[in-house]
Chain A
């Protein structure tokens, strides 16, 4: 690819991204009352988990080697992962499935834009996720005793890179889970299953709590614990960060390739008929 072509492609993607963000924000801000309710919802969710952790730790001192404070750090990363994943992946895939089911994907495919990028950027809910995420995330941050945790600068940098790799791998995994809609006409429950696994079915199990085989499985084929579990382990100095960095990087690159191949294969099976 020539430099001019690359620039053109990049500009096109940035234009699509901007349009997606602005449109989604306009759509979401239309219902002011419900926006406040969404803030209330995420805040209540956070408080419910904070109470849950408090109750659990009133019965035990550690879980998988994590103290109460360390578990709060894990919850903090877990929440950031959820919001990161929701912004880029979940909303867009939830919109994609009915589009394929009803044959509306035609309208996307006839547009002269990279289809997968367009589909994954048309509902990026940055505005609402910021408003929804800030109050509960602050609540978690204020719950953590930061002085009791020893962070290293390299740990934070590597942790952040691993977190991004984790989100990339998770995005690919969830796209793969949504693709059966091209063959079967529906895949919402399959996507829900993938998202449920990615969220550890709502439980708070740190990376160290999984048996070794499951740890490998959830860090490779089903990349559910990279963004949350790996990142927290690195931040809390519980593991060699370079090992996990290499691991997460390899999984992210492979998953991107697999996702692109699978997407192109699925498109060839799109019959343009509603089901």
Chain B
């Protein structure tokens, strides 16, 4: 296990070679949030009290944080696997006595270390603006978060595995990321969707990656609806991981170690 922490640390420290880049990354996040606040304040102004500004701002702080922590926003882990396969660099790890998936995960986690730190700050601000309803909210958040992590893990692994089959799967990756952006609740909370569409999306794995854990913090009872949502989330976490692992195992046999 220690070796993976070393990989995370080493990948993270590489980023510190360029301090101005760190500043730019932080500013990028600040700008992103400022635009988001401005945009939603315009909508709140027009909504006639239907939408609560602090609730919506808190939603986006938390959802951005969760998206970055589990890597469902833009699929950093999937991108890392893809790059390694495309360039033939994955051979480097295949010949070493390390687990290939944990190694690649550690590299992408380390390289996205700053995003992870910013995600934690986002999460903290979101929780300050709109604190959890109680102990039940926190318990539900933990369950939904673990489930979100596993689903996002399978999603990233699936994205990366596609590179074994398509010479360059970056277009497919972008297409998948765009689907996730809408249906995971990253762009708009699902409760603002038209009812029929919202109900349909609820049964897909997408909302479990971001929307599920985000709204869990505002739930204060174990009602039937919450339990169904949690059940759906756990189902997708198990099913997708089994399916994607089999896909990965079959796909890695196609690897020719040439690079392009």
User: Do these two chains really belong together in a complex?
Assistant: yes
Q: Which of A53-112 contact B (CB under 8 A)?
A: 55-56, 58-64
**Nearest 3 pairs between A and B by C-beta?**
A37-B171, A41-B174, A38-B171
CA distance A37 to B170 in the complex (A): 8
CA distance A55 to B192 in the complex (A): 7
Q: Mark A201-221, 1 if CB is under 8 A from B, else 0.
A: 111110001100000000000
Q: CB of A15 within 8 A of chain B?
A: no
Contacts of A63 in B (CB 8 A): 42-43, 46
Q: CB of A34 within 8 A of chain B?
A: yes
Are A45 and B193 in touch, CB under 8 angstroms?
A: no
Q: List 29 A-B contacts (CB under 8 A).
A: A33-B168, A34-B166, A34-B168, A34-B171, A36-B171, A37-B171, A37-B172, A38-B171, A40-B175, A41-B172, A45-B174, A47-B178, A48-B178, A48-B181, A48-B187, A55-B193, A55-B194, A56-B188, A60-B47, A180-B20, A184-B20, A186-B18, A187-B20, A187-B21, A189-B24, A189-B25, A190-B20, A201-B34, A201-B36
Contacts of A52 in B (CB 8 A): 182, 187-188
**B21, B34, B194: residue with the most chain A Cβ atoms closer than 10 Å:** B21
Q: CB of B222 within 8 A of chain A?
A: no
CA distance A200 to B39 in the complex (A): 10
Q: CB of B28 within 8 A of chain A?
A: yes
Q: How many residues of B contact A (CB 8 A)?
A: 41
Q: Mark B1-37, 1 if CB is under 8 A from A, else 0.
A: 0000000000000000110111011011001101110
Are B35 and A201 in touch, CB under 8 angstroms?
A: yes
List 6 other contacts, CB 8 Å, given A59-B192, A197-B31.
Answer: A37-B174, A44-B178, A61-B46, A189-B18, A193-B24, A203-B38
Q: CB of B169 within 8 A of chain A?
A: yes
Among candidates A33, A56, A59, A202, residue contacting B166 with C-beta atoms closer than 8 Å:
A33
CA distance A39 to B171 in the complex (A): 8
Q: How many residues of A contact B (CB 8 A)?
A: 46
Q: A41-B174, A48-B187, A63-B42 are in contact. Are A31 and B35 (CB under 8 A)?
A: no
Hey, which bits of chain B sit against chain A, CB under 8 A?
Answer: 17-18, 20-22, 24-25, 27-28, 31-32, 34-36, 38-39, 42-43, 46-47, 50-51, 166-175, 178-179, 181-182, 187-188, 192-194
Contacts of A39 in B (CB 8 A): 171
- Shortest beta-carbon distance from A95 to chain B in Å: 16
Contacts of A43 in B (CB 8 A): 175
Contacts of A180 in B (CB 8 A): 20
Looking at chain A's contact residues, is the secondary structure mostly helix, strand, loop, or mixed? helix
Are B182 and A64 in touch, CB under 8 angstroms?
A: no
Contacts of A185 in B (CB 8 A): 17-18
Number of A-B contacts (CB under 8 A): 131
Contacts of A189 in B (CB 8 A): 18, 21-22, 24-25, 28
CA distance A45 to B38 in the complex (A): 22
Q: CB of A272 within 8 A of chain B?
A: no
Are B47 and A186 in touch, CB under 8 angstroms?
A: no
Contacts of B22 in A (CB 8 A): 189
CA distance A37 to B194 in the complex (A): 29
Among candidates A31, A59, A205, residue contacting B47 with C-beta atoms closer than 8 Å:
A59
**B42, B50, B167: residue with the most chain A Cβ atoms closer than 10 Å:** B42
CA distance A63 to B182 in the complex (A): 20
Q: CB of A115 within 8 A of chain B?
A: no
Contacts of B27 in A (CB 8 A): 193
Are B46 and A34 in touch, CB under 8 angstroms?
A: no
Contacts of A186 in B (CB 8 A): 17-18, 20-21
Contacts of B172 in A (CB 8 A): 34, 37, 40-41
Contacts of B178 in A (CB 8 A): 41, 44-45, 47-48
Considering the complex, give the chain B residue whose CB is closest to the CB of A60.
B46
Q: CB of A138 within 8 A of chain B?
A: no
Contacts of A210 in B (CB 8 A): 38
Considering the complex, give the chain B residue whose CB is closest to the CB of A48.
B182
Q: A37-B171, A41-B171, A184-B18 are in contact. Are A209 and B38 (CB under 8 A)?
A: yes
Are A31 and B168 in touch, CB under 8 angstroms?
A: yes
Q: A40-B172, A41-B171 are in contact. Are A188 and B39 (CB under 8 A)?
A: no
- Shortest beta-carbon distance from B126 to chain A in Å: 17
Considering the complex, give the chain B residue whose CB is closest to the CB of A183.
B20
CA distance A187 to B46 in the complex (A): 39
Contacts of A237 in B (CB 8 A): none
Q: A34-B169, A37-B172 are in contact. Are A193 and B193 (CB under 8 A)?
A: no
Are A44 and B175 in touch, CB under 8 angstroms?
A: yes
CA distance A16 to B195 in the complex (A): 54
CA distance A64 to B28 in the complex (A): 24
Contacts of A37 in B (CB 8 A): 166, 169-172, 174-175
Are B28 and A205 in touch, CB under 8 angstroms?
A: no
